[in-house]
Each structure stands twice: as C-alpha cells, then as structure tokens.
Amino acid sequence: MKQKAVLAFSGGLDTSVVVKYLQEEHNMDVITVTVDVGEGSDQKKIAAKARHLGVLRHYNIDAKKEFVEKFIHPAIKANALYQKKYCLATSLARPLIAQKVLEVAKKEKVSALAHGCTGKGNDQVRFDVTFGSGSNLPIIAPIRDLNLDRATELEFANKHGIPIDSVSKKFSIDQNLWGRAIEGGNLEDPYAEPPDDAFIWVKTKNLPDKPRYMEIEFENGVPVSIDKKTLNPVRLIEYANQVAGANGVGIVDHIEDRVVGIKSREVYETPGAMCIIEAHSDLEKMVHTKHENKFKSIVDQEWAWLAYSGLWQDPLKRDLDKFIDQSQKTVTGIVRLKLYKGGLRVVGRKSKHSLYRHDIATYGKGSAFDQRKATGFVELWGLQTTEANKLADKR
C-alpha cells in the first residue's frame, strides 16, 4: 500500500503541480484539502480539479465562520495593519488552513504534510510553523525544495496534463473574506501604477456622486452591525466589502518586508478591513485612557508583526491576545464613516464608555474644569526639561 500525503490545495498552478509531484516522484497517494475562507473561488470546480488530478480523496471545509471569529476579530481588536498598511488577509488565513490540514492528517493517518508555497514568500513560514506546532510529520514543499520558478512549473504542468487557468496568467491572486492580494506582472515595478484591471472588489471608475455614510457598531471591539443592520459575522464583512468597494475605498499599495528578508511591492484590495479598522481605531481613542492609547499601539504593532511573520502559534501571541481582549471591554459604541470616491473619513463616534466629557472640554461657560490647577501641573510636567536646559546654559 502506498504512503499518503495530505496537501493544502487551492486548485491553482502551484498546488496542482505538487499533486503530480507527490504522485510521481514520491509515489504517494494524495489527499487534498481546500478550506473555504470566503469571497472565494468555486469550491466545486476545485473539487473537480482535484479529482481530475487523481487524488485519493478531496476534502472541502467551510471555515468562514471560524475564520472571522478566531482570526479576523482578533485582528480587528489589534487594529492589525502590518507596516501600517496591510490588513493581513492572507496571513490570517494560512494558520487556519494549516490547522484544518492537520485535522485531516490525523484522521487519515497520513505520513507526510505538503504545501505548494515558494521559498520566497511568507506562506511557507505560516504553514511550516503551524504544521510543526501540531505534528512531527515531515513537510514536503516541492516548489521550494526544487527552487521552481513559474515558467518551469508551467512546463511541468503541460507535460503532466495539468489544466492551467487562463485567468491567473496576468497576476497572482490570493483572496478571502478579509482581503485580496494581487502580485506579479507589472506590479513588480514599484514605480508603475497598478492598472485598473488589477482591481475587482474596488470600483475605480464611475463612482457614485453622493457620499455614502456607513455606521459601524462595535461591541467589545467586535463589529456587530452596520447601518443599523445586525449581521452575522461573515455577512457583516461581505457587506462592508461591497459598500466600501462600490465607493472606491480599499486599495492599498506599499512596500512590504517579507519574513525571509525580501522586500516586495504589494497591492491589496481590502475595502471592508480598511473601514472597520479605521472605525475601530477611532472608537478606541474615545474610550481608552491616554496610557492605554499609547501602549496599545506598541502591542498592536507587535501583534501584527507576529501574525505576519508566521508566529501565530507563539505563546507571545496568546499573551498579547489577553491584553487586547481585556482592553476591548470598553470598546462598545458607534462610529460613523463617510465614504466618497475613494476617500474615507470618520465623521462621528459615540460610546457609553466615552471618556470625552463635554463639560470638561468645552470652552463655553460653566466648565467643570478649573484651569488654575493646570499651573502646578505644567510646572511639574516640565520640571526636569527646564532644569536640564538651565543647567546646560550655565556651562
């Protein structure tokens, strides 16, 4: 009897090549696993492709709800934007997919785990670390191990009768509920503007002439309704993607530091994420003390770095999550966004936990704040600073 390998399968070029490679070079039976994390490809087509490639068994797992609750919600609470820009759509999905692969591996008693990641990207780290955190099985990663480039893969595909999707010829795409990443083609020139046809979620032409307002309601840091409509977690993000995308909001274009040290130019469509994080971040400033605001931005940066860097399973991430969860107990309220032709701005926010007090802040009559207290405050606030300068002047 042949040995079995389980493979995270997307139906694309890379993972199709891996199926054949495992069958022919390793002489193994292949079990494919496709995890539906939303906004995605046709799951039936993927299953058909897997069968066409002669796999032993194909699993299709709907993990959309789990993806939102266990991965996207923590990211929202952490205002997670790697290097201030990237909402981590792919980064968050990979550990989940890898976990599902592990579950199948245990059930099927396979003797190896496989993925189709290259050695240049971040996904290999996320797969390998998740696999290694939950199992001692060997990991087979043929694209990386054979140092294959795209042209060589296409040749291999031709030779082995692997059908190639003509659509993905121009760009390399990865997408899920939380965002869509576009790579390759002329995007590899960081000075060239991304062409309009790179964008599918975000309209770039013929945008509505009137501003669109969006009200997002948060409970303990998690979005629970938009425009006064309570939506289930998956639907809420789809809705935000649609509304923001239709109003031209959600394109990100930046230079990114990959885990392996490569710099890459990355282009994303993340309309829902952009709105939700902007709103969440604004609400936090209303309900958190200034000490929380200052320190949490350091915690948030570390969280995003860990999640991006394939260290989702590191105990540090669990530590950070506890900090963040506690901080979200007051992050309840409503934020009003204005979307207009690609522009996005918070125009209002309210919360029962608001530390903003009109009676203190107002310059109008009858303020509860006695300004005279400030004299002593300011003097002590600046005591060492002024002292240091006076001392320096004397010398």
Residues of span 365-394 touching a copy of itself by CB under 8 A: 365-367, 369-393
Nearest distance, CB of residue 363 and a copy of itself, angstroms: 5
Closer to a copy of itself by Cβ: residue 239 or 305: 305
Nearest distance, CB of residue 341 and a copy of itself, angstroms: 4
Print the binding letters for residues 238-277 with a copy of itself: x by CB under 8 A, - otherwise. ----------xx-x-xxxxx-xxxxxxx------------
* 145 tagged catalytic: no
Nearest distance, CB of residue 25 and a copy of itself, angstroms: 16
Would you state the structure tokens that stand for residue 219, as one six-digit string?
Answer: 């409970």
> How far is the C-alpha of 14 from the C-alpha of 61, rounded, in Å?
20
Residues of span 194-213 touching a copy of itself by CB under 8 A: 194, 207
Region binding a copy of itself by CB under 8 A among candidate stretches 32-40, 91-99, 101-109, 146-154 = 146-154
Q: Is 206 annotated as a binding residue?
A: no
> How far is the C-alpha of 90 from the C-alpha of 123, rounded, in Å?
8
Nearest distance, CB of residue 33 and a copy of itself, angstroms: 20
Nearest distance, CB of residue 268 and a copy of itself, angstroms: 11
Query: Is-contact 13 142, C-beta < 8 A?
Result: no
Residues of span 334-353 touching a copy of itself by CB under 8 A: 334, 336, 338, 340-350, 352-353
Residues that bind a copy of itself (rule: CB under 8 A) add up to a total of 142
Give the list of residues 6+ apart from residue 168 with CB closer than 8 angstroms, or none: 12, 13
Catalytic-labelled residue, pool 36, 123, 282, 300: 123
Does the footprint of a copy of itself cover residue 51 (CB under 8 A)? no
* 227 tagged catalytic: no
Closer to a copy of itself by Cβ: residue 48 or 356: 356
Half-sphere exposure of 328 (CA within 13 A, CB side): 22
Closer to a copy of itself by Cβ: residue 57 or 285: 285
Query: Is-contact 65 176, C-beta < 8 A?
Result: no
Query: Is-contact 32 50, C-beta < 8 A?
Result: yes
Neighbours of 358 (CB within 10 A): 10
Q: Is 225 annotated as a binding residue?
A: no
Residue written as token pair 């000490």: 291
Q: Is 215 annotated as a binding residue?
A: no
Neighbours of 380 (CB within 10 A): 9
Region binding a copy of itself by CB under 8 A among candidate stretches 46-54, 70-78, 123-131, 269-277 = 123-131
Comparing C-alpha atoms, which of 235, 220, 243 is closest to residue 338? 243
> How far is the C-alpha of 227 from the C-alpha of 215, rounded, in Å?
5
Residues of span 56-115 touching a copy of itself by CB under 8 A: 83-84
* 300 tagged catalytic: no
* Interacting residue with a copy of itself among 133, 164, 220, 235 (CB under 8 A): 133
Nearest distance, CB of residue 387 and a copy of itself, angstroms: 6
* 14 tagged catalytic: yes
* Interacting residue with a copy of itself among 3, 168, 242, 289 (CB under 8 A): 289
**287 alpha carbon, distance to own chain's centre:** 25
Q: Is 12 annotated as a binding residue?
A: yes
Catalytic-labelled residue, pool 41, 133, 135, 172: 172
* Interacting residue with a copy of itself among 2, 52, 229, 294 (CB under 8 A): 294
Would you state the structure tokens that stand for residue 328, as one six-digit string?
Answer: 């979200």
Catalytic-labelled residue, pool 29, 36, 94, 349: 94
> How far is the C-alpha of 44 from the C-alpha of 120, rounded, in Å?
30
Residues of span 309-328 touching a copy of itself by CB under 8 A: 309-311, 313-316, 318-327
Residues of span 9-38 touching a copy of itself by CB under 8 A: none
Query: Is-contact 10 116, C-beta < 8 A?
Result: yes
Nearest distance, CB of residue 316 and a copy of itself, angstroms: 4
Region binding a copy of itself by CB under 8 A among candidate stretches 37-45, 106-114, 159-167, 188-196 = 188-196
Helices (H), the chain: 13-24, 43-52, 64-67, 73-77, 89-108, 123-134, 142-145, 150-159, 233-246, 271-287, 290-308, 315-327, 358-361, 373-381, 383-394
Let me know if 33 is exposed, middle or buried by CB neighbors in 10 A (0-12, 13-18, 19+).
buried
Neighbours of 171 (CB within 10 A): 18
Annotated catalytic residues are 14, 94, 123, 172
